[in-house]
Structure 1
Amino acid sequence: MSMTIGGISRSRIAAVREREELVYSAARPISQAMIGDGAPGYLGGVPMHWMRDWPMPFPFVVKKANDAKIVDVDGIKLADFCLGDTGSMFGHSPAPVVEAIRRQGKHGLTYMLPCDDALIVGELLVERFGLPYWQIATTATDANRFALRVARAVTNRPKILVFNGCYHGSVDETFVQIRRGWQVNKAGLAGEFRDLTRGAVVVEFNDIQAVEKALAEGDIACVITEPVMTNSCMVLPEPGFHEALRDVTRKHGTLLLIDETHTISTGPGGYTRAYGLEPDLFVLGKPIAGGVPASIWGMSEDIAARWQAYEAAKEPGYSGMGTTLSGNPLQFAAMRAVLEEVMTPNAYARMEDLADRLQQGLAKVIDDNGLAWHVVRVGARVEFVCAQGPLGNGTEAAAAHAPELEAVIHLGLVNRGCLIAPFHNMMLVSPVTKKKHVDRLIMAFEDVISELAE
């Protein structure tokens, strides 16, 4: 075992971690009393098991959140760069969304029929994202799952292609990976009884030759991909990759699904509109309704026509696509507010400027401390990586991941008033993030890194 991680000694990481845990616990007696030993009534002591994944001795209990700030029950204020891991990318409780929820709350929360806002949102989705036909789901996982069903139905092909290290929510067939040259189920899956590689092919991101070889078999319905690989150590597409991916999918009659749930940080129309991508299917979840659970999935004219022909010919019965609460009026009220008043070009311009400031500040800290790390950004989304870059694929991203080191950095940032995403090193800049928040994060990062690197 190496004595260092990311150029930092393991002993130093352990010492700093011990000290930071003591600081954290001492500052939060109320949270510790409430949840330090687990909250009663919940399996594992938390309402949702991901809440155990924060790198603190125990999660703090939130009292309130607004704009880009969180206050816990001990009265500690934090500049929030996690923002619900993208769900609150435009800030907590944007005023137009709050007003829309209040307005719709008086007229019913769900009734499985369209409303006035639904009709307007349909037009807004076409205008914003370019594809002509849309459906509403509750999570991006649902949307991806439903879109993949359409892909299989209209192509009459059984398999999908995913990229090693990808993340598309909890869509079962995307939980495959390359390990020692073999395709296998991803490690850590709970209760999975199938060999998921029978329905999926996994290749490395940026490897267009591997994509073409897989598609040449003629049994792959759809390639599902993020424009930029996220949720680990971020991997950018190499120049020409997306153009080649679109060409090779069309050549082999394979559909292309772009999942923008994280890369919507790029701009008002996502990475897809910013870089002129041409997907057959498109998915976006998390921030589309300002924090209200909602997602969207759209399709091209051609796919819509093929789907309608399939529906007309198929045996009647439940399609396996949709949930009772999907497309409810609360979702539409919030989505309309986001699309019309929150998710604007001006908002993105501010996000871009401050994210650039954050990227440069973090990179300077890394350089000043002589570390072979790098910082990567896609629009308002910034990540530091505790290894040299750029990274080219999922295997390189997995090798660059440094959980022990990253955990102590995250904890140190919390102790200095800054919260970033727990599962990776992601930081989001919102339209309501202030310059002083960015500078606080840079200074906190500098303090923690200099402690580790001394």
Structure 2
Amino acid sequence: MSIPDTVATFTPSTAAPATRAGLDWARAQVFLARERESYVQRNPRSAALAARAQQHLLFGVPLHWMTDWGTPFALHVDHASGAQVTDADGHMLADFCLGDTGAMLGHSPGPVAAALQAQATRGYTTMLATEDASVVGEALAERFGLQYWQFAMSATDANRYIVRWIRAATGRKKLLVFNGCYHGTIEDVFVDLVNGVPVQRGSLLGQVHDLTEHTVVVEFNDLAALEAALAEGDVACVLAEPVMTNIGMVLPQPGYWEAAQRLIQQYGALLVADETHTISTGPGGYTQAAGLKPDALVLGKPVGGGVPCAVYGMSADLAARAIQAKQDAPPGHSGIGTTLTGNMLAMAAMRAALTEVITPAAYAHMLPLAEQLAEGVRALIACYQLPWCVTQVGTRTEFQFTPTPPRNGAEAGAILDGELEHLIHLGLLNRGVMITPFHNMMLVCLQTTAADVERLLTALDDVLGAIVVA
């Protein structure tokens, strides 16, 4: 079998995209070549491990996304703790990626590690309930204001399950999402607007059914488009991040969610808030901070301190309708849940994370650091006179290649520049700082220090100084 070449290569563009205004791209290419050579020289152990993995791992990594970093070969990790990752060659990296939110409260948080150690000799999975499950349900209900909860192994599954429950409860088939959204790999959401026309996303591999039959897509922040879609009377639910984060951050316009919630309720649909990323806002997510009243809520990644698990909650009214739908259905598999759903290990991790880690005190530490980071990046952008902006939601900060923040998914997608992003990310990585490989998102965690933030800003200053017009 031929193994694909996973080494990232970049071809200089003939036309300068708007995202590169203020940059000397020829100078940037010289910088990139130097940084790639530096990466190779600094990471011989990762190189050897990458070559070994090519023999049996598809794309040479456990998950093909791990090739998205723009590095000459996959970086391999030895261990991670708190706000730091130590790679296979012994370099200690200040981590502002944090597992793309999975480790948002830091790697191996102490209370979660202790809970896992205690549970390790008491069983991992039995397909039976534990006391931990009751405590987790109580904590979630108090935190998010939704009475009933269920569990999943990932936010993808949680989104898939809540959509199924709502379709069953309402008798409606259609799902409404926002252009450019991402809610894990639930197939229903892979529909984009292209010139105003819903189109199934071409990157979705192996999909054989036409998703546009049951998925409606509109632009975020467009109330008129939302109302027109809802007025058809066949939308079961609107699945939305309160702030779009995966195509680059898109903040809601003032008053948008208040008006959107009224429209959703008026036309008999339900609102599902996917807080998997926007839990960065605070311990109750954007929902609590902005006073949203969703009918259901999904939270994955950080809810177990990085242990694979997720939750979804629903209002008492929706729960009653969901229970009735299950009782009215023929006996047999509902298509919801897996054998490992709600396993004992995950429940122990979630109990510790919700009661001891994801706390107001943690955010009291993280939020000021995120502000320090955001202001520092703004200062660098101003110093180098770049037409970029900084967007932020709680502990999540991002710099975007546009003078003003995008208002919807189309605008956010238009300013993505993979070549430029990878160049910056590689430069930061060689300087001991790691941010996400997807756009320019940065997270601070409970163990992040002011010195870590300054380290990132110093590294970014160095990178920008090497690629701007001299």
TM-score range, shorter chain: over 0.9
Is the contact between residue 105 and residue 446 of structure 2 (CA under 8 Å) also seen in structure 1? Answer: yes
- More deviation, 49-58/206-215: 49-58
Distance 1:311 1:361 in 2: 53
Q: Pick the aligned partner of 1:231 from 204, 224, 246.
A: 246
State the 1:38 CA deviation. Answer: 4.3
Is the contact between residue 3 and residue 9 of structure 1 (CA under 8 Å) also seen in structure 2? Answer: no
Is the contact between residue 273 and residue 294 of structure 2 (CA under 8 Å) also seen in structure 1? Answer: yes
Q: Pick the aligned partner of 2:25 from 10, 15, 30.
A: 10
Is the contact between residue 228 and residue 237 of structure 1 (CA under 8 Å) also seen in structure 2? Answer: yes
Distance 1:12 1:191 in 2: 41
Is the partner of 1:341 in helix, strand or coil?
helix
Q: How does 1:208-357 map to 2 (within 5 A)?
A: 208-357=223-372
Distance 1:203 1:412 in 2: 37
Name the residue aligned to 1:87. Answer: 102
Is the partner of 2:465 in helix, strand or coil?
helix
Is the partner of 1:103 in helix, strand or coil?
helix
Distance 1:161 1:259 in 2: 13
Is the contact between residue 13 and residue 404 of structure 1 (CA under 8 Å) also seen in structure 2? Answer: no
Is the partner of 1:317 in helix, strand or coil?
coil
Is the contact between residue 282 and residue 299 of structure 1 (CA under 8 Å) also seen in structure 2? Answer: yes
Distance 2:446 2:54 in 1: 34
Is the partner of 1:277 in helix, strand or coil?
coil
State the 1:227 CA deviation. Answer: 0.4
- More deviation, 333-342/178-187: 178-187
State the 1:39 CA deviation. Answer: 3.5
State the 1:37 CA deviation. Answer: 6.8
Is the partner of 1:422 in helix, strand or coil?
coil
Q: How does 1:25-424 map to 2 (within 5 A)?
A: 25-36=40-51, 38-424=53-439
1:2-23 CA-partner distances (Å, limit 9, x unpaired): 2254212432332221111011
TM value normalised by structure 2: 0.95
Distance 2:338 2:28 in 1: 46
Distance 1:16 1:234 in 2: 28
Is the partner of 2:252 in helix, strand or coil?
coil
Distance 2:261 2:352 in 1: 33
- More deviation, 140-149/313-322: 313-322
Amino acid at match of 2:87: D
1:186-212 CA-partner distances (Å, limit 9, x unpaired): 121111112211110100000011000
Distance 1:365 1:26 in 2: 29
Amino acid at match of 2:433: C
Is the partner of 1:307 in helix, strand or coil?
helix
State the 1:283 CA deviation. Answer: 0.1
Is the partner of 1:257 in helix, strand or coil?
strand
Distance 2:167 2:222 in 1: 24
- More deviation, 180-189/436-445: 180-189
State the 1:182 CA deviation. Answer: 1.3
Stretches of structure 1 lacking an aligned partner (at least 5 in a row): none
Stretches of structure 2 lacking an aligned partner (at least 5 in a row): 1-13
1:218-239 CA-partner distances (Å, limit 9, x unpaired): 1110000000000122000001
Distance 1:128 1:364 in 2: 36
Distance 2:209 2:399 in 1: 36
Is the contact between residue 63 and residue 72 of structure 1 (CA under 8 Å) also seen in structure 2? Answer: yes
Is the contact between residue 298 and residue 310 of structure 2 (CA under 8 Å) also seen in structure 1? Answer: yes
Is the partner of 1:18 in helix, strand or coil?
helix
Is the contact between residue 180 and residue 413 of structure 2 (CA under 8 Å) also seen in structure 1? Answer: yes
1:319-352 CA-partner distances (Å, limit 9, x unpaired): 1000111100101110011111101101001110
Distance 2:387 2:305 in 1: 37
Percent identity of paired positions between Structure 1 and Structure 2? 51
Equivalent pairs, count: 454
TM value normalised by structure 1: 0.98
Distance 2:457 2:332 in 1: 56
- More deviation, 3-12/395-404: 3-12
Distance 2:214 2:220 in 1: 19
Distance 2:346 2:174 in 1: 32
Amino acid at match of 2:420: L
Q: Pick the aligned partner of 2:453 from 435, 438, 446.
A: 438
Q: Pick the aligned partner of 1:23 from 34, 38, 43.
A: 38
Amino acid at match of 1:92: H
Is the contact between residue 6 and residue 373 of structure 1 (CA under 8 Å) also seen in structure 2? Answer: no
Is the contact between residue 28 and residue 466 of structure 2 (CA under 8 Å) also seen in structure 1? Answer: no
State the 1:128 CA deviation. Answer: 1.3
Distance 1:389 1:72 in 2: 36
Distance 1:91 1:390 in 2: 28
Is the contact between residue 25 and residue 467 of structure 2 (CA under 8 Å) also seen in structure 1? Answer: no
Is the contact between residue 36 and residue 59 of structure 1 (CA under 8 Å) also seen in structure 2? Answer: no
